[in-house]
Amino acid sequence: MEGPASPARAPGALPYYVAFSQLLGLIVVAMTGAWLGMYRGGIAWESALQFNVHPLCMIIGLVFLQGDALLVYRVFRNEAKRTTKVLHGLLHVFAFVIALVGLVAVFEHHRKKGYADLYSLHSWCGILVFALFFAQDQVQ
């Protein structure tokens, strides 16, 4: 018979990998913000710059925060399971809300400009990704 399972040990280099992933994520968010600020005129909700909210929200929500939500169970191995589950869920909720704001921004922009919605492969793939992200949250 086997004894009680001992908690799995994290690889020794895990803190460095996590720090590197966080650094890369923050660089991507900062570069997207800089690109929008310097080359696209910035972001605003009630102006022609409303469309620029979309890429920033998608990067923050679906890339950075969702990635952090996935890392929670690896990073906080020695914390209480309930704590890690709550943190994992909160990060997913924040990611969903921010991505939803980005999605609303692009639809509102299209409505204000009189553009058709869902006219490109990019838009259909984006809707599919968002729907799968939402379905994954519902299944958990």
Q: What is the CATH number of the domain that holds 122?
A: 1.20.120.1770
Model-level pTM? 0.85
Q: Is residue 5 part of a domain?
A: no
Instruction: State residue 6's pLDDT score.
Output: 59
Q: Is residue 27 part of a domain?
A: yes
Kindly give the confidence (pLDDT) of every residue in the chain, 140 residues in length, as a single tens digit, with 9 standing for 90 and above. 555 655 666 678 888 999 999 999 999 999 999 999 999 999 999 888 999 999 999 999 999 999 999 999 888 888 999 999 999 999 999 999 999 999 999 999 999 999 999 999 999 999 999 999 989 878 86
Instruction: State residue 137's pLDDT score.
Output: 76
Number of domains in the chain: 1
Please report the sign of the dihedral spanned by the C-alpha atoms of residue 111, residue 116, residue 120, residue 126.
Answer: positive
CA 89 to mean position of chain CA atoms: 13
Domain residue limits at 37: 18-138
The CA distance from 25 to 40, in Å, is 21
> How many residues are listed for the chain in this entry?
140
Instruction: State residue 138's pLDDT score.
Output: 82
